[in-house]
Amino acid sequence: MTADRVIVFDVGSTLIHPDSAALADWLKLHTSEVRDLATVDRAFRLAIGAKGNPRAKSDLTLSEARVFFSNLDFVVDDVRASKMWSEIVLAGGARSWLYSVLPADVKPTLMELKARGWRVIAASNSDGTLHDELEAFDLVHLFEKIYDSASMGVEKPAKEFYAAVLRGFNDAWTVHVGDDLANDCIAPSKLGFDQVILVDPANIYPHVKFCRRVNCVSEVLEHLEGA
């Protein structure tokens, strides 16, 4: 294996996590319903992974909304569900009320990877504020490059997104780490990455066998081939 090693991290729900307590409070305010934090977190992660084969963005929004509310056992009509889900998923990026939790193992893991000689990259579907978001959590200096889909004009899982990320790393051993099965595992495994690792803290993908699956970011260190 070449000495040049590159590891690419998704950010939202992989490094910076949604605040389940804040989301539960938001839901209580809008629905008067109460659910435990583990259930809310699991429903959210199942929803953002519910890609299917949408014909349009609105179809994807409704598909995700249905998954989210059904896993909470909420009865919500499609119009209201789509509206509420849109408000939730738009609460991302810098200064977000939703994505506000940085697990204690994230920064030490990134520092350890750099100490081992890995080139550490951030690449995420975002709203143009990815750099500011990473800076707010004191992470930005740990990344060699940062790829924000809004700035690039293309989103995961498009091959153009991954081609841009991989450009210049042709001779490197490349690893992609993320929480979304379609965007962060299936797509990169087909589009040039040597290894993919799925971060699955809510254990929603127990059936996945084609890639390594971890509970938290620090476990990535144990699963890097040739690390």
Q: What would the pLDDT profile of 122-135 be if each residue is shown by its tens digit?
A: 999 999 999 999 99
Share of the chain above pLDDT 90, in %: 81
The pLDDT assigned to 1 comes to: 45
Domains of the chain, CATH where assigned: 5-16+102-223 (3.40.50.1000), 18-89 (no CATH)
- Which is more confident, 59 or 111? 111
Segment 166-213, tens digit of pLDDT: 998 888 999 999 999 999 999 999 998 999 999 999 999 999 988 999
What's the DSSP call for residue 7? E
Share of the chain above pLDDT 70, in %: 94
Structural contact between residues 174 and 166, judged by C-beta atoms closer than 8 angstroms: yes
Q: At residue 52, does pLDDT exceed 70?
A: no
Output the average pLDDT for the chain: 91
Structural contact between residues 147 and 165, judged by C-beta atoms closer than 8 angstroms: yes
- What does the block give as tokens for 80? 């209201």
Q: 63-66: long-range contacts (C-beta < 8 A, 24 or more apart)?
A: 64/89
Q: b/e map of 71-100 (b: 16 or more CB within 10 Å)?
A: bbeeebeeeebbebbbebbebbbbebebbb
Give pTM, 2 decimals.
0.93
- pLDDT confidence of 58, banded at 50, 70, 90? low
